[in-house]
Structure 1
């Protein structure tokens, strides 16, 4: 075999593994009483490789002290400790002096039984410069999805996708075989990642990247749940894993002794148990699929199931644990019960008779008093989240998942990303929970030295405009009730442009939150709050003046246009009446007051509002009606005949009016629409340059070049005013264009093609989404297709289907465009059948 070297990536912080990684680097977490990285090293040794480079960063001395120079494993280990965070590829570049031969890169925090000799053979056979190990997983969210052609050449990467971007279940395992000349493409300094930077660069340079599908077990041990699950998989023989130690058959299972341990004669072993050197298990205990670490003590009559006990743990008599992780140096008193799982970080003391009601975490060196009842309110949420953020916001149960102490920490995490003295604007809606949480969050901002401008109860559109229009503002935060779940709330974090945080910024907040790495300033630099009426009024005034400068109210007034607004009990009541009054627009306003009870049943009142406004428009002969949803970004349009426009009609109205306006001005307008928006009428809009794509793929300056950015339902942004949706401004613009061109809403759309366009939802288990999308992509490759946002596949020049996994629900979102309903429904029936068949398949 060609001489090879190996690189083990062992520098990660283990943020998602907290508190297991409080003082232990993630690669050193014990799997069956051996550091996870030791199994990776043994995989390398099995390939005949004896030169290994270990890349360090977080707590490097722990790894060095264990593996030393590698002589205990008959290998030579070279340690490289970069002087900064250089990213994944940049870290490997720091080891260039050791890598003058082909080398394989592996992560130190992965458990696998892959036969790695296969990827080495493939790499050599293809004369590849770089080969990526691939595999299929049920949940690809935390990994890079990879698309290859038949020869193994990689066509596309989707790095750590959302469910909306999952187009396959084939992912990047982080196993790379690399020729040394590839290192020349990596800059010697600065952060540079394999997936984010190096792979796109190589593809632009015309260097083929190959992918090889590895068969077998692979698990990235990235959070406490996966740490538990890898042990479960070993217990259940789901992978080829050699358990160290001496095996002793038992009546109901097998016992593995890793050294000298004392086990009382009447201890009952069910299925498997691994007992570490120096451990002591007293009489009457039952151990069912349990690992017990070095020098641990388990007292009489304990029942421990499906659990991992680390070293130097002391468990007193009569304790019951199921699905527990107990870290080093923990003491558990008599008769403690944790039937639904618990994680006890190092140094925790649990008093006798305590009960853990649900799967909870106790952080390091905490003391639980005797007879305590511990519930999940002491942790962030009732489950482990890979991130605080969902679709750019933080969502959780008020006063449970998002409690005051959690909010304060999020405030500290956000504030720590900004320079000391930065100005941050905060605001909220009327609900009591957002008011409470905002105050706690502001405390966290002040602790990091932020200067806080509190706009109190304010529409989010006003707050975002205030951020974007003032160069001295570095960010903002808005707190609001979750309209779909009255018991929950949302926290929205904005950057200096008034847009939701991009991925890199949200990840930085995540990291600071989970590691509790907060900047706490000296008392002389603690921030101040500005919340006086003059400042609040100034921000409202700026918002109003901008609207008035961009809307031609004269043409609306001269047309005598009349409109009905339903504000749906939301915070838009703070702005809509004043703007309509200032512009002297003839109007009727409904439900311009806060009603907590009605907001709790918004689905019912939405239907009622549509019916009420429709009847008012018809009865009074108004020109249109508009529903503005409670937080002021969404709207529904009702035409002069009282007809509620559907989603496609709403977008067509805006496009046709913009086309008329562009034609009158003798120019073309630029429009950005979603990938899945209908396109059969594009040719009808002669004066629109329509581009489809993903909003986040454009820079701020690129977005500002568009005249209209719209969703499929016609809720839109006008970049001349804002880059985000503002229902009030969009409604005023709609009224201006109707008045200016003397046209009725009901007259629009008569010249456009009428065709079939419909959105569907197909139920799909979360863990089957990747498999289904991979199958759909295989079908698409024989036709014209696109993988922007999801998978869009054309049957011909007109008929197409778009499939995207829903980010929050166990379903696939499907859009179909067709010549007619019969064709569209036949397409849906056909592809729905294929999807359901794939879901049922075990392959």
Structure 2
């Protein structure tokens, strides 16, 4: 049997480890990870190996040559342009004349290849994917199989709401040469995204072999360190270089360890090392070949590459020190810090946790390194939540952080783009907005500054001026100490998760674009767009004036002022109160606000959230419209205004909307529950006028409220009467604790338990019952699942929800 080792990866998430070497050449326990893979293949009788290369190919070729010194025969196939995983393997087609194995050269595993091949042959498969169950499957391709192991579905790098299994693709495949019929040579083609979906759609025999053996995708710095620990803890079957001089202590040839040195197991010390008196080599330390460690050093839980010089009194704690680095006396480096190759760290310098120093850098004597030495400050791996990026002002939402975010977004947009920025006028938001502008300019984009406006107006400005995107800064209604940055794409929608991940990756790697000084673009200040937007809202009205008595909760001072002035100008009688401020006769909570609306003879009550995108409505009877009722109400209004049409609603929305659609000859499209997904569907490339109308009603509280009042006026109706026309809605919602590492398991088990029954896995898993449905949805920001049920009655909806709350709790604790 022959194998293909895919070794073209750059390993961008491992930088600076991979700045000067391809990812397969990163050492694990003293040997390049690809050496461990080569040894695994040889141990299973695979001696003929094709190696696909792209990034720094000569480093791999010069190390392995023809493979003879490793007991195998190697051939190399270089991609002159990116071809994708399947495309790169196609380069070796002439070499692959029978069933063959594909394996990554940059992952660590001891999978029993022989058993996997037997599984493949027993099922006469065209393709067999080696699968592994993992606790948190977000960074992998999730694969769903039937009871016989046949693959039934793929999902590439899902969000928590999309996780339907904890079984993931390891990137190890057993394939028939017949696969080459499905794509051409020199064509970009990916196994997971292109080939396997084709085989699945044509019902070709494609199976998943679930392994219990060790597998680690060395995807980031933490995984790299853990892989080293796992080797020396012997959690993975791998060859450890050197001789085991005591249990758990391996030492290479010609290494000198003086008498007064403490060495704690487990650890690996390479060949040709010198370790002086008084030093401590603590457990879980890996010392590369030809490393010199002077007296009184303390090395703990650290990985040191070969040819490194460490002077006296150096303290390393959970650090990675790359090759040919020189640490002067008294240097300290802490958890998850990385010093790149050919660097020099001056005497008594301190490298703080999580700091990355790129290759070839020099750190002066006595310096405290508190930011990455490339440019920018410390990175956070993931910071986008359900809505943009939020943080406490001047603690985790600092000007430095905001500037780097701006530079990262600008790097995604590329040069010659135009980005709009705006804020809510608060001092904190203005400060952060200005920092964002600095970062954007540094990346080479032009900036349109819209000064003070609402977030919905910012979205409209992006569309109106045909910008490439926008960033909006606004404080929370709980106080100016909490601030959110909203990122907008060229349609005015919140950016999608793919773009969020690109920004996070650029941010965490400090890999954003920098524009030369003479190429910097400028800032165009655009005043008065908020007023222009409000005039446009008025011009779209069908009625000449509005005559309603409205109570407004002053929950968002900026938005409340705008809507109060606008409604007053249009003829409404408006009163503003602040919940919880103990004003004379003022409401203490939302319940009292509802009673205030009813007892005060108001036509409706309105509370606008801080982003000015969402609103809560109370009718004249004091009834607070829940989110479910509000979505149904807006759907009915749109169907009536448009004489049918299409509405987009989340998968969690009530089935009552389908009943309304049938009555008014409309259509319902369901999408994922996140705001970005709903916006993306409404404002996509082919967005129709009816969908733009729905966007306004759902995500622009000021314009949406005016449109609602205009509709009521034209139709001679009231909010109370419109709500009474809706079908009865019986829904129940609960949250149940569920650890991050249990979410995939929970969804997989529920799907398996309902095999053959009507379910929907658009997001989470939705199970249909004769009298209703229930949706189990993993939360993307918290360690919990949301359980939403709808039934023919309140009692049945609650009972159905409780059943699945108990089920989630049982599976997650099992």
Tell whether the structures are fold-level matches, with TM greater than 0.5: yes
* Post-superposition offset of 1:391: 4.4
Alignment match, 1:496: 490
Matched, 1:653 2:601: no
Cα–Cα, structure 1 residues 196 and 94, in superposed 2: closer, same or farther, change >3 Å? same
Kindly indicate whether the alpha-carbon contact (under 8 Å) linking 2:47 and 2:71 is maintained by their aligned counterparts in 1: yes
Secondary structure of 1:536's aligned partner: coil
* Post-superposition offset of 1:207: 3.0
Kindly indicate whether the alpha-carbon contact (under 8 Å) linking 2:647 and 2:668 is maintained by their aligned counterparts in 1: yes
Cα deviation digits, residues 534-561 of structure 1 (max 9, x gap): x322x3354234323433243x53xx22
Segments of 5+ residues of structure 1 without an aligned counterpart are 593-597, 709-716
Quick one: which of 569, 572, 577 aligns to 2:556?
A: 569
Alignment match, 2:713: 739
Cα deviation digits, residues 654-706 of structure 1 (max 9, x gap): 234345x25xx7x3131111112221563255113222223368585576248
Cα–Cα, structure 1 residues 839 and 614, in superposed 2: closer, same or farther, change >3 Å? closer
Kindly indicate whether the alpha-carbon contact (under 8 Å) linking 1:738 and 1:745 is maintained by their aligned counterparts in 2: yes
* Post-superposition offset of 1:397: 5.4
Following the alignment from structure 1 to structure 2, what is the Cα–Cα distance between the partners of residues 129 and 699? 41
Cα deviation digits, residues 130-169 of structure 1 (max 9, x gap): 2211110001010011111122221111110111211111
* Post-superposition offset of 1:434: 3.8
Cα deviation digits, residues 759-796 of structure 1 (max 9, x gap): 111111111212222212211224221111111112x2
Cα–Cα, structure 1 residues 97 and 415, in superposed 2: closer, same or farther, change >3 Å? farther
Kindly indicate whether the alpha-carbon contact (under 8 Å) linking 1:553 and 1:583 is maintained by their aligned counterparts in 2: no
Matched, 1:775 2:749: yes
Following the alignment from structure 2 to structure 1, what is the Cα–Cα distance between the partners of residues 387 and 81? 28
Alignment match, 2:659: 683
Cα deviation digits, residues 697-718 of structure 1 (max 9, x gap): 858557624846xxxxxxxx73
Kindly indicate whether the alpha-carbon contact (under 8 Å) linking 2:379 and 2:507 is maintained by their aligned counterparts in 1: no
Alignment match, 1:220: 217
Alignment match, 1:832: 805
Alignment match, 1:278: 272
Quick one: which of 30, 37, 40 aligns to 1:40?
A: 37
Cα–Cα, structure 1 residues 461 and 384, in superposed 2: closer, same or farther, change >3 Å? closer
Kindly indicate whether the alpha-carbon contact (under 8 Å) linking 2:697 and 2:707 is maintained by their aligned counterparts in 1: no
Kindly indicate whether the alpha-carbon contact (under 8 Å) linking 2:386 and 2:781 is maintained by their aligned counterparts in 1: no
Matched, 1:536 2:527: yes
Following the alignment from structure 1 to structure 2, what is the Cα–Cα distance between the partners of residues 256 and 103? 35
| 1:44-63 to 2 correspondences below 5 Å | 44-63=41-60
Segments of 5+ residues of structure 2 without an aligned counterpart are none
Following the alignment from structure 1 to structure 2, what is the Cα–Cα distance between the partners of residues 481 and 297? 53
Cα deviation digits, residues 457-505 of structure 1 (max 9, x gap): 221211111111233x222222334668965544333222112233444
Kindly indicate whether the alpha-carbon contact (under 8 Å) linking 2:732 and 2:798 is maintained by their aligned counterparts in 1: no
Following the alignment from structure 1 to structure 2, what is the Cα–Cα distance between the partners of residues 189 and 700? 36
Following the alignment from structure 1 to structure 2, what is the Cα–Cα distance between the partners of residues 567 and 24? 58
Alignment match, 2:693: 718
Following the alignment from structure 1 to structure 2, what is the Cα–Cα distance between the partners of residues 364 and 749? 65
Following the alignment from structure 2 to structure 1, what is the Cα–Cα distance between the partners of residues 578 and 477? 16
Q: Relative to structure 2, which stretch is displaced further, 309-318 or 160-169?
A: 309-318
Following the alignment from structure 1 to structure 2, what is the Cα–Cα distance between the partners of residues 353 and 616? 67
Following the alignment from structure 2 to structure 1, what is the Cα–Cα distance between the partners of residues 518 and 379? 39
Q: How many residues align?
A: 801
Following the alignment from structure 2 to structure 1, what is the Cα–Cα distance between the partners of residues 240 and 145? 36
| 1:225-374 to 2 correspondences below 5 Å | 225-249=222-246, 253-287=247-281, 288-338=283-333, 340-356=335-351, 358-374=353-369
Alignment match, 1:595: none
Kindly indicate whether the alpha-carbon contact (under 8 Å) linking 1:348 and 1:367 is maintained by their aligned counterparts in 2: yes
Cα–Cα, structure 1 residues 519 and 466, in superposed 2: closer, same or farther, change >3 Å? same
Q: Relative to structure 2, which stretch is displaced further, 818-827 or 267-276?
A: 818-827
Cα–Cα, structure 1 residues 193 and 482, in superposed 2: closer, same or farther, change >3 Å? farther
Kindly indicate whether the alpha-carbon contact (under 8 Å) linking 1:143 and 1:159 is maintained by their aligned counterparts in 2: yes
* Post-superposition offset of 1:83: 2.4
Following the alignment from structure 2 to structure 1, what is the Cα–Cα distance between the partners of residues 4 and 698? 45
Cα deviation digits, residues 35-94 of structure 1 (max 9, x gap): 111111222223322232222222222222212222222333222222223333333334
Following the alignment from structure 1 to structure 2, what is the Cα–Cα distance between the partners of residues 348 and 778? 53
* Post-superposition offset of 1:529: 0.7
Following the alignment from structure 1 to structure 2, what is the Cα–Cα distance between the partners of residues 141 and 64? 33
Quick one: which of 786, 789, 803 aligns to 1:813?
A: 786
Secondary structure of 1:121's aligned partner: helix
Secondary structure of 1:271's aligned partner: coil
Alignment match, 1:643: 623
Following the alignment from structure 2 to structure 1, what is the Cα–Cα distance between the partners of residues 725 and 29? 71
Quick one: which of 759, 762, 779 aligns to 2:736?
A: 762
Matched, 1:547 2:545: no
Alignment match, 2:647: 671
* Post-superposition offset of 1:403: 4.4
Alignment match, 1:624: 604
Quick one: which of 98, 103, 108 aligns to 2:105?
A: 108
Following the alignment from structure 2 to structure 1, what is the Cα–Cα distance between the partners of residues 334 and 440? 39
Following the alignment from structure 1 to structure 2, what is the Cα–Cα distance between the partners of residues 485 and 327? 46
Secondary structure of 1:618's aligned partner: helix
Secondary structure of 1:761's aligned partner: strand
Cα–Cα, structure 1 residues 480 and 377, in superposed 2: closer, same or farther, change >3 Å? farther
Cα deviation digits, residues 266-320 of structure 1 (max 9, x gap): 3222221211122111122222221101111222222222211112222222333
Following the alignment from structure 2 to structure 1, what is the Cα–Cα distance between the partners of residues 718 and 767? 36
Alignment match, 1:479: 473
Following the alignment from structure 1 to structure 2, what is the Cα–Cα distance between the partners of residues 80 and 397? 51
Kindly indicate whether the alpha-carbon contact (under 8 Å) linking 2:357 and 2:372 is maintained by their aligned counterparts in 1: no
* Post-superposition offset of 1:346: 2.7
Kindly indicate whether the alpha-carbon contact (under 8 Å) linking 1:563 and 1:624 is maintained by their aligned counterparts in 2: yes
Kindly indicate whether the alpha-carbon contact (under 8 Å) linking 2:330 and 2:348 is maintained by their aligned counterparts in 1: yes
Secondary structure of 2:646's aligned partner: strand
Following the alignment from structure 1 to structure 2, what is the Cα–Cα distance between the partners of residues 202 and 550? 51
Secondary structure of 1:580's aligned partner: helix
Secondary structure of 1:414's aligned partner: helix
Cα–Cα, structure 1 residues 388 and 188, in superposed 2: closer, same or farther, change >3 Å? farther
* Post-superposition offset of 1:358: 4.0
Kindly indicate whether the alpha-carbon contact (under 8 Å) linking 2:125 and 2:206 is maintained by their aligned counterparts in 1: yes
Cα–Cα, structure 1 residues 701 and 513, in superposed 2: closer, same or farther, change >3 Å? closer
Cα–Cα, structure 1 residues 837 and 642, in superposed 2: closer, same or farther, change >3 Å? closer
Secondary structure of 1:411's aligned partner: helix
Following the alignment from structure 1 to structure 2, what is the Cα–Cα distance between the partners of residues 612 and 114? 63
Secondary structure of 1:120's aligned partner: helix
Cα deviation digits, residues 89-140 of structure 1 (max 9, x gap): 3333344343343322211221112112222222222222222111100010
Following the alignment from structure 2 to structure 1, what is the Cα–Cα distance between the partners of residues 509 and 88? 22
Matched, 1:580 2:580: no
Alignment match, 1:714: none
TM-score of the aligned structures, taking structure 1 as reference length:
0.87
Matched, 1:704 2:687: yes
Q: Relative to structure 2, which stretch is displaced further, 457-466 or 823-832?
A: 823-832
Alignment match, 2:96: 99
Alignment match, 1:525: 519
Following the alignment from structure 2 to structure 1, what is the Cα–Cα distance between the partners of residues 248 and 279? 15
Cα–Cα, structure 1 residues 546 and 98, in superposed 2: closer, same or farther, change >3 Å? farther
Alignment match, 1:693: 671
Cα–Cα, structure 1 residues 112 and 431, in superposed 2: closer, same or farther, change >3 Å? farther
Kindly indicate whether the alpha-carbon contact (under 8 Å) linking 1:793 and 1:802 is maintained by their aligned counterparts in 2: yes
Kindly indicate whether the alpha-carbon contact (under 8 Å) linking 1:17 and 1:222 is maintained by their aligned counterparts in 2: yes
TM-score of the aligned structures, taking structure 2 as reference length:
0.90
Q: Relative to structure 2, which stretch is displaced further, 118-127 or 496-505?
A: 496-505
Cα–Cα, structure 1 residues 683 and 341, in superposed 2: closer, same or farther, change >3 Å? closer
* Post-superposition offset of 1:517: 4.6
Cα deviation digits, residues 404-426 of structure 1 (max 9, x gap): 44544443343344454332211
